[in-house]
Amino acid sequence: TYTSLTIHGLGSSDEGPAEITLSRSQSFPPPRFFQDYAPVRRNEKWAPLPLPKNGAHLELELTRSIARGRVGLTYSARVVQNTASMDLPDLCVKFVMPCYSRTLAREAWFYEQLARKPGYEGVVTPRCFGFFTVPLKDCLDVKGQLVSHIKPWEVESNSDDTDETEEEEDLDWWLPDDPPSLQRYFEDNDGWKSGSPWNKWKPSPPSESLICVLVLEELGESYLRPNEREGDGKYANEEEELNDIRDVVRDVSSTGIVHRDIRCCNVLRATRNVRKFSFRSCERQGLKETRNRGVLASYY
């Protein structure tokens, strides 16, 4: 388990590049949805995992951008140093724009939950190696100058124009359980959400922003519809592939997770042949034992 992460190629001051070191951070649990006729039983495993102590250090260098969306960006990463006694797959690092730090903390909680269940992480979703954060004001270059440029934050978003009102855009960082009008549908009796430092978090001025990242297993290309493929036989495996994707979605759903954005571009091919599906989803792993396939996953 990693407790710290250093990233090369992430940021710089006005005078030169910087190596930015982040610390392992706690994830952000949601409250629990309930209905009057079905009371929610207490679940100790709903709590965020405690932060590991005296863990390993991982050092990465960003290489190329592999995905970009409205909320964040993902880069391939090369391992520079790994003090853990474990082999790592190809890795990528997911960044979010400053106003979405809380969203990434929630995503980290989903990966924690999936890792608790055998046959999920690394089968239906990519493996996750930790959620890390550092305040921008604590980042310095080799000369002690404050870091003023963060590479992912300076990339223009490629999201489509939106018809949201200005008020809706201001609340875009809200999570589904944040609106006051929905509070009657959720309970947080154990205080795992309300007691989290992320619960009252709000976007800060640029100079006080938080750098947040997830380190994930890198997957392959996104799924292409048969009519988008080239060459003869492009429809040959269509039914088998669609069945794999259906199985992955069913497995994700069986955990209580709702993906909410299942599109071809969010279904990625597995890069290893030791798993059960050809595709993966960044939310969970499959239970089938009949195929050697991949994961349904969205990096942004």
Query: pLDDT digit string (tens) for 224-240?
Result: 877 777 766 565 677 88
Of all residues in the chain, the percent with pLDDT exceeding 70 is 82
pLDDT(91) > 70: yes
Structure tokens at 60: 């990465």
pLDDT(52) > 80: yes
Residue type present at position 67: A
pTM of the model: 0.83
What's the Cα-to-Cα distance from 214 to each of 40, 78, 277, rounded to whole Å? 30, 15, 23
Cβ neighbours around 43 below 10 Å, total: 10
CA distance 52 to 75: 25
Greater pLDDT, 53 or 223: 53
Domains of the chain: 2-218 (3.30.200.20), 219-300 (no CATH)
Predicted pLDDT at 218: 93
CA distance 259 to 246: 13
Helix (H) or strand (E) holding 113: helix 101-116
CA distance 280 to 204: 34
By three-state DSSP, how is residue 169 classified?
helix
Predicted pLDDT at 277: 53
Residue type present at position 105: A
CB 70 within 8 A of CB 156: no
Greater pLDDT, 280 or 216: 216
Long-range contact set of residues 139-142: C-beta below 8 Å, sequence gap at least 24: 139/11, 139/18, 139/20, 139/211, 140/13, 140/18, 141/12, 141/13, 141/15, 141/16, 141/17, 141/18, 142/16, 142/17, 142/18, 142/19
CA distance 292 to 276: 4
Average pLDDT over residues 45-65: 94
Q: How far is CA 171 from the centre of its chain?
A: 21
Query: pLDDT digit string (tens) for 2-26?
Result: 999 999 999 999 999 999 999 999 9
Q: Are strands 2-12 and 56-68 parallel, antiparallel or unpaired?
A: parallel
pLDDT(106) > 70: yes
Predicted pLDDT at 173: 74
Query: pLDDT digit string (tens) for 142-157?
Result: 999 999 999 999 976 5
CB 75 within 8 A of CB 64: yes
